[in-house]
Amino acid sequence: MISIAVLGHGVVGSGVAEVLTINQGSITEKVGQPVVVKRILDLRSFPQLPYADKFTTNFDDIVNDTEISIVVETMGGLHPAYDYAKAALSAGKSVVTSNKELVAAKGDELLALAQANNVSFLFEASVGGGIPIIRPLWQCLAANEVEGIAGILNGTTNFMLTHMVQDGMSFEDALALAQQLGYAERNPAADVEGMDACRKICILASLAFGKHVYPDQVHTEGITHLTAADVRCAEQLGCVIKLIGKARRTEDGVYCLVAPMLVPKDSILSGVNDVFNAILVQGNAVGDVVFYGKGAGKLPTASAVVADVIDAAKHQGAPHCLSWEPAAPNHVLNSTDEAFSFLIRFETTEREALSARLVESFGDITVVNCLENELVVVTSPLSEKELSRRLSALPEAAPISCLRIASL
């Protein structure tokens, strides 16, 4: 019998207990012995549950229990999750986590610690919820040099954008519904301000390019400033707006960025709606591969966590060691140097005069007149640095919004 502990009995932690119970028979067959939850750490008690006797508020009951060989961390946040993960790995226990904040901040260190202790540190559920992406990236695509990754990595914002566009729902109502359905983070600012997607693209970029990309190195924009007018302009251009996490390898380093972008309707990512996520990986041998599925929610996320538990249980003593190295600060390039086409909206009643000035300054520019009292243009690809330089030379042209057009 394999005894495990679960840290945190929230949406994901309770889902892990549920999946281990409903699929007990097949999991036992796959592992070759039963996998049993021995302890659950939570500050709350759940007297109504049939496994109420397993709860503890003391981590020492877990880390000092030599029968427990796998610790599942689903608490979220950096502390105490990091301290508990470190203590469990140091005590020779494998750690499985769904915690992207933890992996994005401390992945290099925890992977090295796992390797030193000959145990697993696995985090399939940290990106894309139920979508298999971590294991395919480091195993199935191992023969490739990954050139780029782009994805819809946050289920909450994708759910919100879908309902705001398709049903005219307000930002607040769409967020409340996503929270009610268990998609959003404890603090939904991490979803709507892009930090959750940032942590996920950091994990993917670290894995794909072999060196740690830290969240504070990544330019991150959320969806809080988007308006119905932006959505209408996107529509007119044959695009939809999606929150995109993107990483691209160059000879000098890695570009990494999270921002709402216009996605052309002929791109496979444009049709990804609701809580679904999709991740496009470009390999130099395989070409483009897309991973699609439910990116958040109790059972989809628990599905990925329990798969890691099965992996850790089957490979005790000979763990799968994925790893990446710590990186120098210049590994991540300045995203303001990366070129994009931009959709820019200017408030004006003098469209023709402003458009003439913009043509003078930008040269190649396309006017898309989709809104009254506005001039809306699309630039040819240029860096954000260059865009700011040209706009600052036109003080009369203060944009009311500026969105990148995704190049996928």
Binding residues for ligand HSE, rule: CB under 6 A, are: 129, 154-156, 183-185, 191, 196, 295-296
The CB-of-381 to ligand HSE minimum distance in angstroms stands at: 29
The CB-of-129 to ligand HSE minimum distance in angstroms stands at: 5
The CB-of-244 to ligand HSE minimum distance in angstroms stands at: 14
d(CA 197, CA 182): 17
Q: Which residues pair with 95 in a beta bridge?
A: 71, 121
- Asked if 175 contacts 76 with a C-beta cutoff of 8 angstroms, the reply is no
Q: Which residues, other chains included, contact 32 with Cβ-Cβ below 8 Å and sequence gap of 6+?
A: 314
Nearer to ligand HSE, 14 or 156 (CB): 156
The CB-of-133 to ligand HSE minimum distance in angstroms stands at: 12
The CB-of-300 to ligand HSE minimum distance in angstroms stands at: 9
DSSP classification of residue 396: T
- Asked if 160 contacts 174 with a C-beta cutoff of 8 angstroms, the reply is yes
Nearer to ligand HSE, 306 or 376 (CB): 306
User: Which residues of 20-90 form beta strands (DSSP E)?
Assistant: 35-41, 55-56, 68-73
200 is a catalytic site residue: yes
Q: Which residues, other chains included, contact 272 with Cβ-Cβ below 8 Å and sequence gap of 6+?
A: 152, 158, 242, 278, 292
Rounded (to 5) percent helix, strand, coil in the chain: 40, 25, 35
d(CA 403, CA 229): 12
Nearer to ligand HSE, 99 or 401 (CB): 99
> Which of these is catalytic: 200, 242, 294, 298?
200
Give Dmax over CA atoms of the chain in angstroms. 77
- Which residue sits closest to ligand HSE, CB atoms considered? 156
Phi, psi of 171 (to 5 degrees): -55, -45
The CB-of-314 to ligand HSE minimum distance in angstroms stands at: 25
Hey, how many other C-beta atoms are within 10 angstroms of the C-beta on 201?
29
- Asked if 399 contacts 405 with a C-beta cutoff of 8 angstroms, the reply is no
d(CA 313, CA 310): 5
Catalytic center residues: 200
